[in-house]
Amino acid sequence: MGKPSWTKGVVAQLPKTGFAPGRFTPLPPRPARVAFADTGLWLEIPRLGVMAPIVGVPTDTPDAVTWLYDQVGYLQSTTFPTWKGHTVLTAHNYLPTGAPGPFAALNQLRWGDIVRIHFGGQVYEYEVRRAAVVASDAVWVFKAPSSRGTWLTLITCRNFDERTGEYRFRVAVQAVLMRVYPAP
């Protein structure tokens, strides 16, 4: 995993969030400088059967997403999840074990699909408004589609190239907050 260039709010390339499908990729131990913040948040994507914890990923450590495994990472240079503004979450499409990760089927989301964030006894329900396969330098995904509302963007890798050992594209799904209600 190379170092993506999204640090301190300056984004030139989307995070690299996947390993070779079906192949074990050995990783060094997570360095002490890579510490994920416990947010108390959970992401749920009913259509995909995803339910995963959200951790804070420091943006001053570009390779931090390497050690996410089955967690979802909130990029801390974006708005805190559920707050008014624009939040970016990322997760692996394939894990270092070669097995599918939390966002392996992210490209299947369509307009109107539901994405939920669970936090503090509340459920924040978003509806998908845009889903696209984009170039790794398509930094527009770090901007909310509108200055109004509370937006969420989900990002993962797509189309692994065996020749280069890299992913050619990213999947970006943008959703807008529609409802907030007490957790059942």
Tokens 């959970």 — which residue? 42
pLDDT tens readout for residues 42-59: 999 999 999 999 999 887
Give the start-end residues of each E strand in the chain: 6-7, 10-11, 37-45, 50-57, 72-75, 85-90, 114-119, 122-135, 150-161, 166-182
Alpha-carbon distance 184 to 170, whole Å? 34
pLDDT band at 14 (very low <50, low <70, confident <90, very high): low
pLDDT of 5 strictly over 60: no
Residue of 132, 176, 173, 167 whose CA lies nearest to 13: 167
pLDDT tens readout for residues 66-108: 889 999 999 888 899 999 999 999 999 999 999 999 999 999 9
Please report, rounded to a whole number, the percentage of residues in the chain having pLDDT higher than 70. Answer: 91
Identity of the residue numbered 125:
E
Q: Write out the CATH class of domain 13-18+35-182.
A: mainly beta
- Give Dmax (Cα) for the chain: 49
Question: Which residues, 6+ apart, have CB-to-CB distance to 14 below 8 Å?
Answer: 4, 6, 134, 136, 137, 138, 139, 141, 155, 170, 172
- State residue 173 phi and psi, 5-degree precision: -120, 125
pTM for this prediction = 0.89
